[in-house]
Amino acid sequence: MVEPPSGPLQRPLPDGTVPETIVVRTEEHWIRIMVGMLVIMMVIIVLSSFVGALHPSSNVEVIDSRTLHLKGEFVESNLGTAVEPDGSVTVRLIAQQYDFVPRCVVVPAGTPVKFRLTSDDVIHGFLLPDTNVNTMVVPGFVAEVRTRFSEPGDYVMPCHEYCGLGHQAMWARVKVVPWQELAKQGRFERTSCAAQ
Ligand SMILES: [Cu+2]
């Protein structure tokens, strides 16, 4: 004699329909699985954000991109690395087709570093691999990201937002050095990395 199937959905029913209680139970079962997956994904996003110090840029600051080179914070003489009175470091950069100005900046290891960027033409992207630095650079706005480099080393800064035919060549460099080495450098060396 053949054993009847044990699964409720596989049992033969006289009129061929599935009982409502079984449908409801199955739907509730899948809803619990879906909610569980959503909760796991949210936990991963929140935890990785805290661990990696990742956050959406919250800095909404407007600037007139037509006069960047004439006046204000982003005039040429003010670009590059500056040491603030509290010992932190601010780096100011302009993204433009197809370069960052300056192309290389020197920053100290183990010190809070604030990058402030803007664009004078189209939308660019600013990314430092293996750090929490990743932002869009939109003309008319100042993008601000903060980080801290634990070790000396070189980081490349690719533009990661397609900005035109020369986009793939839009690279720059951040050179992380011990604090003492930065203190010895003059403003020109910090700004251009020309000697390296
Ligand atoms: Cu680009």
Task: Give me the pLDDT at residue 10, please.
Answer: 61
**Centroid of ligand 1 to alpha carbon of 4 (angstroms):** 66
**Mean pLDDT calculated for residue range 172-195:** 75
In the chain, % of residues over pLDDT 70: 85
Mean pLDDT rounded to a whole number for the chain: 84
Give 56-71 pLDDT, tens digit per residue.
Answer: 666 778 888 888 888 8
Rounded to 5 degrees, φ, ψ at 147 are -155, 180
Q: How confident is the model at residue 86 (pLDDT cuts 50, 70, 90)?
A: confident
**In this structure, are residues 184 and 144 in contact, taking their beta carbons and an 8 Å threshold?**
no
**Centroid of ligand 1 to alpha carbon of 138 (angstroms):** 12
**Centroid of ligand 1 to alpha carbon of 159 (angstroms):** 4
**Centroid of ligand 1 to alpha carbon of 119 (angstroms):** 11
β-bridge pairing 89-96 and 80-83? antiparallel
Give 9-23 pLDDT, tens digit per residue.
Answer: 566 567 777 788 888
pLDDT at 181 over 90: no
Give 98-108 pLDDT, tens digit per residue.
Answer: 999 898 889 99
**Centroid of ligand 1 to alpha carbon of 153 (angstroms):** 24
Whether the pTM exceeds 0.85: the reply is no
CA dist list (Å): 76 to 102, 106, 156, 188, 192: 9, 16, 22, 11, 12
**Centroid of ligand 1 to alpha carbon of 84 (angstroms):** 30
**Could you give the CA distance from residue 116 to residue 84 in angstroms, rounded to a whole number?**
14
**Centroid of ligand 1 to alpha carbon of 52 (angstroms):** 25
pLDDT at 194 over 60: no
Q: Omega before 102 cis (within 30°)?
A: yes
Among residues 114, 108, 111, which one has the least CA distance to residue 93? 114
Among residues 114, 127, 110, which one has the least CA distance to residue 181? 110
In the chain, % of residues over pLDDT 90: 32
Q: How far apart are the first and last CA of the chain?
A: 86
**Centroid of ligand 1 to alpha carbon of 146 (angstroms):** 21
pLDDT at 95 over 90: yes
**E strand or H helix at 130:** none
Task: Give me the pLDDT at residue 196, please.
Answer: 46
